[in-house]
Structure 1
């Protein structure tokens, strides 16, 4: 642009330019600062809308260098020290994820013979039936998937957890944790990378531990592969099991139970909140009688349930990667009746 001396602009135009410059200066000074932030552009309306996801480093229940992602409405607590997403909650409210407060601040121990049940959300490889022949023990879970700290990376309001390479599976796990800019929606993308060792058939499992629910649901496909809509996998039959209106539902009592299905959507709810987990079934071979979604109920004194999703089995060779995505939506309860609430959440 070429500038000329003098005053080439009419007086009224000069005033308009001065007002515009003053407005821009004030906007820059007033813009809030965050440690990390993400932005989006609303092209449909041809105007810029900015939303932010902040990431804050905290000590959480005794674990230093934990991370809280927040969009101002909901927040996610990530604890790399134990390799878990420990909470997903509305800001300044209690969360639905189950946390074992007896384990606060403790470090995972890969040599332990008993499972360190921290709670939260994590990834285990499937099928579990193969753990014995691959690791030499059927339980606890493989060490790098469950009993070792993760490394964390933060970029653009997104947190990535990166595990060590599991010594038995030769697999590294990456979990990308992100929040929607405005909505109460968390997305976790889990990737397995085959780094070393012999080829093996593996699927991605994601296990989310949640507090004792009023009711938990599987949303049936229009044509389920299972005549009853579900299959009992192990332990006792669930308490108050019902199959009606396209929903398989249950409550937890004081014993263990586990059922599986081919559902794409799982629901958990108590009297205040609803958690919806979506993870689409794709074509392929699945473990555990062909199920890709399961609900496990824990026995007393640990009052929790697990909503579990699984991807298809893949023959992984060195250099291969497989990936699965889970979408978690957190909602406030509106209907008193849990079945009416489930239908509302599903848009039925």
Structure 2
């Protein structure tokens, strides 16, 4: 009897742990898709994008920032910050980075996988795609970004995955393994600044293995920094919970922005955790791919 009850319990747990994808509405967008395994929850809208607009525990807070003024809207002629998670092109360039992603995207569901694909950008000839795979249990999500060259000429760029975090939290990233002097004489990684970077800003906390950037809704001054770590990761602590994104960078390849595999940016509205792939020459019809692993 105990064996039978145990079997029934385990079978119920396995059935409950399956990933479900269902159509829903979110923040004014009527055509969205919720992906959940009963523990984690993720929402993609097909009204604009491709963008992931919600990620968190099921029934819990949204780790992602959603811009109230543009929530539920679409069709704007210019690029809109909007919020959520998106894929861009690096290095940052007005023409190639900022084409608007305000049109409907195609959603394809393959079992427990969701793929969101935008129309080809007329400004660049690039087509952006995000594929999402959620683990059947736990909070793990694999996010695969693809940038297709649909033009007639080769292009060189780096994939750039940006996650806009809700206000009031702390963004954290880690340096490569630390060492001692004189045993380790070679440098380990770049630390990259922008013209507006201010290391004396009180939102920074610098530690031996980590650095912290605090999102402050009262401070509108933009702040940014970048670095390289073969085991790239960024975490965001918000209301006692943590979002983590990881990416394996290749130190043998060339990365944009003086060699950054990770960048973080903040202003009064949000904080971004950003990972960057290597500079890649993409032939017509080919694509560059960039993979992140998320968890809570």
TM-score (norm 1): 0.72
Task: Determine which of 77, 82, 91 is the counterpart of 1:127.
Answer: 91
1:159 aligns with 2:114: yes
- 1:270 is aligned to 238
Secondary structure of 2:248 counterpart: coil
- 1:239 is aligned to 202
- 1:320 is aligned to 286
Question: How much has 1:328 moved relative to structure 2?
Answer: 1.1
From the superposition, tell whether residues 166 and 250 of structure 1 become closer, same or farther in structure 2 (CA, over 3 Å).
same
The higher-RCO structure (CA 8 Å, 6+ apart) is: 2
Distance (whole Å) between structure 1 residues aligned to residue 148 and residue 278 of structure 2: 15
Distance (whole Å) between structure 1 residues aligned to residue 43 and residue 14 of structure 2: 26
Larger Rg: 1
Secondary structure of 2:41 counterpart: strand
- 1:189 is aligned to 144
Question: How much has 1:101 moved relative to structure 2?
Answer: 2.1
1:222 aligns with 2:191: no
Task: Determine which of 94, 99, 108 is the counterpart of 1:142.
Answer: 99
Is contact 1:239-1:250 (8 Å) kept? Answer: no
Task: Determine which of 104, 107, 110 is the counterpart of 2:71.
Answer: 104
From the superposition, tell whether residues 269 and 189 of structure 1 become closer, same or farther in structure 2 (CA, over 3 Å).
same
Is contact 2:190-2:259 (8 Å) kept? Answer: no
Report 1:60-75 matches (<5 A): 60-75=26-41
RMSD after superposition = 2.4
- 1:4 is aligned to none
Report 1:11-22 matches (<5 A): none
- 2:130 is aligned to 175
Deviations for 1:141-172, whole angstroms, at most 9, x for unmatched residues?
Answer: 123xx333211111212110011112232222
Distance (whole Å) between structure 1 residues aligned to residue 37 and residue 260 of structure 2: 34
- 1:41 is aligned to none
TM-score (norm 2): 0.84
1:79 aligns with 2:79: no
Deviations for 1:250-274, whole angstroms, at most 9, x for unmatched residues?
Answer: 2134110110011301111123211
Deviations for 1:272-329, whole angstroms, at most 9, x for unmatched residues?
Answer: 211111011113111111111001002x3x2x10111110011111122211111111
From the superposition, tell whether residues 234 and 159 of structure 1 become closer, same or farther in structure 2 (CA, over 3 Å).
farther
From the superposition, tell whether residues 101 and 240 of structure 1 become closer, same or farther in structure 2 (CA, over 3 Å).
closer
Query: For structure 2, which runs of at least 5 residues remain unmatched after alignment?
Result: 180-185
From the superposition, tell whether residues 280 and 227 of structure 1 become closer, same or farther in structure 2 (CA, over 3 Å).
closer
Is contact 1:217-1:250 (8 Å) kept? Answer: yes
Query: For structure 1, which runs of at least 5 residues remain unmatched after alignment?
Result: 1-22, 33-47, 331-348
Structure (1 or 2) with the greater helix fraction: 1
Question: How much has 1:223 moved relative to structure 2?
Answer: 6.1
1:279 aligns with 2:247: yes
Question: How much has 1:229 moved relative to structure 2?
Answer: 6.0
Secondary structure of 2:194 counterpart: strand
